[in-house]
Structure 1
Amino acid sequence: MVGQAEAVTAGLLVIGDEILSGRTKDRNIGYIAEYLTALGIDLSEVRVVPDIEDEIVAALNALRSRYTYVFTTGGIGPTHDDITADAVAKAFGVTIDVDPRARAMLLERIPEADLNEARLRMARIPAGAALVPNPVSKAPGFWIGNVIVMAGVPTIMQAMLDEVAPKLTTGVRMLSQTVPAHAKEGDIGGPLKEVALAHPGVTIGSYPFMAEDGRPNTNLVVRSRDPDQLAAAVAAVEAMVAQVRAQLAASR
């Protein structure tokens, strides 16, 4: 565990033309965000890039220099456009070839007679990388430096994330509390800014929605790693909401 003042951060690189074209609807971003939050890791940035090696390399190098971890999804299958492993090897300046450990994993599921050139692509691993086991379909992901490369198929990605989670450095979990405003977002925007300025140790989000009765409403979500700062900010938000509602009632 790290100290409370420190944060463990992550970037996520989603790779695939099919995501950008809309042909495939991403189901991984939200899952990874919730999973990492529960571990005390802040998902700070998400990028989506096409199946173009230079684009993957540029995005990966930008993210890995900025965050504690970088997770990637997609592009480690058997087809010609699955180029993530090659791009990662290029980003790290290492060679890539069929890894005997990965090949052995594939043979747990695929008969050797069927282990053709296309399937062997899934055993090509950058030099120096650790393998990320895949209990679903055996083709592994890998971990090199601070970059963790996972499949794009949600069930496989989730299994890989479970495999690496115990090995991740984790931080202090972010605490949160929701305060219903029972008012329109525009009614509380000004006073809310004053509360936020008075409590720099917390973040406060404003989320408008339509209530079941058809009236506009707003939830205010207060977040902090410090329980005392969280409690103080929540109390201030609740007091502000009560004051705004009283003013609105008086003006009607």
Structure 2
Amino acid sequence: MSGLKPEDMPMPDAATPSRPKLVTACVLLIGDEVLSGRTRDANLSYIAKHLNQIGVQVREARVIPDIESVIVDTVNEVRARYDYVFTTGGIGPTHDDITADSIAKAFGVAIGHHPQAMAILEAHYAETGGEFTEARKRMARIPDGATLIANPLSKAPGFQLGNVFVMAGVPMVMQVMLDSLTGRLEGGATMQSRTVSAQIGEGTIAQKLGELQQRHPDIGIGSYPYYRGKTFGTSLVMRGTDPAALDRVADEAAALIRAFGAEPVVGEPG
């Protein structure tokens, strides 16, 4: 057997006393049906929220087609850039489910029927009365060196190869696969946020808000206008991994708003 084992995965950068350890991820949504609009993605939000809870920050997400060369090139690009890569889609029984083969090619390893995956699926179809067809056996084809990802719902497993985790595109199945991975993932600093809102136009505070961002480059500051009936305003959202720093920036944001004669409210507008 060739290929990377889970223990060969690149490990996240170690934390330092002055900077929390950051663990990053990229999500690849694979499938022509997503790009065509036929299927509405329901996976990215769940993955990002789930990973942030364990200290893994999604820094990039891409939707890519069922084209082998695109999958291979994209996987190789992002697995070298991020600590973890999570893919969804393209591991079913039909001819256009090419993700497993593409991942094998990206890592330069062979692919074949995995004994454990075959046993899981054979038992599943024997229990449910379904025929274990050649098409269904495709779902047991796993790249050499990969570790299976459990699928308690429909049984066909996903797999992990190096720092790449390959999961189903069906949201319910993807979710149980992701839940089963928690023990394998090493998290770091959890992204937190603070929100300050006020009935003030973002154009009014834009310059001062930019100056606030320059003073605090380690905190992300977003400006989001809102409309409530005949009233309008702006919500300022501060994001970062240091709670004390977030509190300081939120206080400065509130003071900035007061300087323009508006009254800040902590949180989203009512």
From the superposition, tell whether residues 246 and 219 of structure 1 become closer, same or farther in structure 2 (CA, over 3 Å).
closer
On the 8 A contact 2:189/2:241 being kept in 1, the answer is yes
Map 1:170-185 onto structure 2 (within 5 A): 170-185=187-202
Name the TM-score, length of structure 1 as normaliser. 0.94
Partner of residue 256, structure 2: 240
From the superposition, tell whether residues 221 and 246 of structure 1 become closer, same or farther in structure 2 (CA, over 3 Å).
closer
**Which among 92, 99, 105 is matched to residue 77 of structure 1?**
92
Which deviates further from its counterpart, 46-55 or 76-85?
Answer: 46-55
Partner of residue 107, structure 2: 92
Partner of residue 66, structure 1: 81
Partner of residue 219, structure 1: 235
Partner of residue 102, structure 1: 117
Which deviates further from its counterpart, 34-43 or 112-121?
Answer: 112-121
Partner of residue 213, structure 2: 196
In structure 1, C-alpha distance between the alignment counterparts of 2:96 and 2:257, rounded to whole Å = 53
On the 8 A contact 1:202/1:224 being kept in 2, the answer is yes
Name the TM-score, length of structure 2 as normaliser. 0.88
Gapped regions of structure 2 (runs ≥ 5): 1-11, 264-270
1:26 maps to amino acid: D
**Which among 130, 140, 147 is matched to residue 147 of structure 2?**
130
On the 8 A contact 2:93/2:135 being kept in 1, the answer is yes
In structure 2, C-alpha distance between the alignment counterparts of 1:90 and 1:107, rounded to whole Å = 27
Q: Secondary structure at the match of 1:186?
A: helix
On the 8 A contact 1:108/1:138 being kept in 2, the answer is no
Deviation at 1:113, TM superposition (A): 7.4
Aligned-pair RMSD on alpha carbons?
1.6
Which deviates further from its counterpart, 184-193 or 150-159?
Answer: 184-193
From the superposition, tell whether residues 123 and 245 of structure 1 become closer, same or farther in structure 2 (CA, over 3 Å).
same
In structure 1, C-alpha distance between the alignment counterparts of 2:210 and 2:33, rounded to whole Å = 40
1:29 aligns with 2:44: yes
Q: Secondary structure at the match of 1:159?
A: helix
Which deviates further from its counterpart, 173-182 or 133-142?
Answer: 173-182
Identity %: 50
In structure 1, C-alpha distance between the alignment counterparts of 2:244 and 2:46, rounded to whole Å = 29
Partner of residue 266, structure 2: none
Partner of residue 247, structure 2: 231
On the 8 A contact 1:96/1:126 being kept in 2, the answer is yes
In structure 2, C-alpha distance between the alignment counterparts of 1:102 and 1:141, rounded to whole Å = 9
Q: Secondary structure at the match of 2:27?
A: strand
In structure 2, C-alpha distance between the alignment counterparts of 1:70 and 1:98, rounded to whole Å = 23
In structure 2, C-alpha distance between the alignment counterparts of 1:236 and 1:100, rounded to whole Å = 59
1:144 aligns with 2:161: yes
Gapped regions of structure 1 (runs ≥ 5): 248-252
In structure 2, C-alpha distance between the alignment counterparts of 1:137 and 1:214, rounded to whole Å = 50
Q: How many residues in Structure 1 have an aligned counterpart in Structure 2?
A: 246
